Amino acid sequence: MSPTETRDSVKREIQIEIPAEEVTRQTESLIQKYQKLARLPGFRRGHVPASIIRQRFTEDIKSEVVEALVPRYFRSEAEKLGLKPVSQPRVTDLHIHEGQPLRFKASFEIMPELKVEGYKELRAEKPQVSVTDEEVENALNDLREQHATFASVEGRALADGDFAQVSFHGKPKEAEPASIPDMGTKTVHMDDVLVEIGGKNTMPEFTENLRGASAGEERIFEVRYPEDAPDKRLAGKTFTYTVKVNSIKQKNLPELNEAFAKQLGEFDNLEEVRKRIRDGLEAERTHAAEHAAKEKLVEELVKCHEFDVPEALVERQIDIRLERGLRALAAQGMRPEDMKKMDLARLRAGQREQALNEVKASLLLEKIADEEKIEVGNEELDQEIEALAKQSKQTSEAIRARLTRDGALDRIRSRIRSEKTLNFLYQQSA
């Protein structure tokens, strides 16, 4: 081999020459294989002359020689030059002729040479969180609402503050424009639903049309959903509802006393409940504030370092972001056929800047981890696997086996290492 190398930031191109004797040896080996397998008119299987094989299968043999030798010699030469490709090589200028060396060029990308500086001078605001007594009481009242009971009311019609236990069936109004995609929503049907008459979360049309109705009565009315309705399947549509009032209920809230505290768990009194609520709210806000501060740290870290990033890594991150977004859309009810209509090229372009910054941040955190000798022990990895097992209700052994099979253990270790490095940056930024 007589390679040469050209440099351009994270891009590399090397020229490689595979000795003629190696090409000949591979070619002869393939001819023997073809002789054993080829079935040609006038020849018994396994007795086709090599000259005929060469003539009939010239291009096939050349292709197999290239497939067998090019990847192996590329890997070997990249290793000799101390290069670690992060993308598949693009092979050009391929020359393969009988009795001659096989020559080709391979273009690929490598990790950038990074030098991180000034990261110990980065500063982040430490969160000062507080929880008011009013917020604690609001949370306590929410718990009280969750433990409400409902008693049947007879002998009168529905009034504000009552709860109607209803069954309803809704269908899109026939005059709906056909051009509006329904995303799978044809009809809506639900049984035994509680509707609060005059409730803040009750649609006005339900309150207005059910107020004054008695148990056993049926009402038919229309509901026009706003364009910004949370459920995209209903946004901008008009539905005709047939609603039957099965019964009238009155909500009874539990008294705020020691009995209620004990009902909530291992509490002796309401003060213990209030303390748990306050601690929970403080922890939640502290976590949110720290997360925001860490994001700003990473943003500053990326701003302070200008370097080229391999396109292959950016494309990979765009794939991850798109997959995550499409999963979220599917969870919201979007059908696969509607996803196929999406302009993926435009979506990819829209994800590019954020994906680029995420890759830069990942590379910088990895470099800082190297500088600070931050590592992830087996015990930390075991804890992560235990958490995943508990979350998915599987055994740790099953989770470890799947992660090993999918090659995901290294990715998890890398993620934990990045989190530890970010925590390091945050702690020393005081």
* Residue (of 163, 164, 27, 195) closest to 100 by Cα position: 27
Q: What is the mean pLDDT of each run of 10 residues along the chain (430 residues)?
A: 54 95 93 80 74 84 94 95 92 92 96 90 87 96 93 94 94 59 64 93 94 94 89 84 95 93 91 96 94 93 93 94 88 81 88 95 95 94 92 90 88 93 90
Sign of the Cα pseudo-torsion (398, 407, 72, 95, in order): positive
Residue 87 phi/psi, 5° resolution?
-140, 160
- Helix-, strand-, coil-residue percentages of the chain, each rounded to 5: 50, 15, 35
**Position 97, amino acid:** H
Is domain 149-252 classified as CATH 3.20.20.30? no
Determine the residue type at 377.
G
State which H helix or E strand residue 188 sits in: strand 188-196
Q: Report which of 419, 349, 336 is spatially closest to residue 384, judged by C-alpha positions.
A: 419
| Interatomic CA distance for residues 334 and 332, integer angstroms | 6
Report the pLDDT value the prediction gives residue 66, as an integer from 0 to 100: 95
**Cα four-point dihedral sign 109, 115, 120, 124:** negative
Backbone torsion region of residue 203, taken as left when φ is above 0, otherwise alpha when ψ lies between -120 and 50, otherwise beta: beta
Looking at the chain, the domain(s) classified CATH 3.30.70.1050 span 4-109
SS3 state of residue 103: strand
Domain covering 4-109 assigned CATH 3.30.70.1050 in the classification: yes
Q: Distance (Å, rounded) from C-alpha 355 to C-alpha 348?
A: 10
Residues of the chain with CATH 3.10.50.40: 149-252
Measured distance CA(275)–CA(228) in Å, rounded: 39
**Dihedral through CA 173, CA 178, CA 183, CA 187, nearest 10?**
20
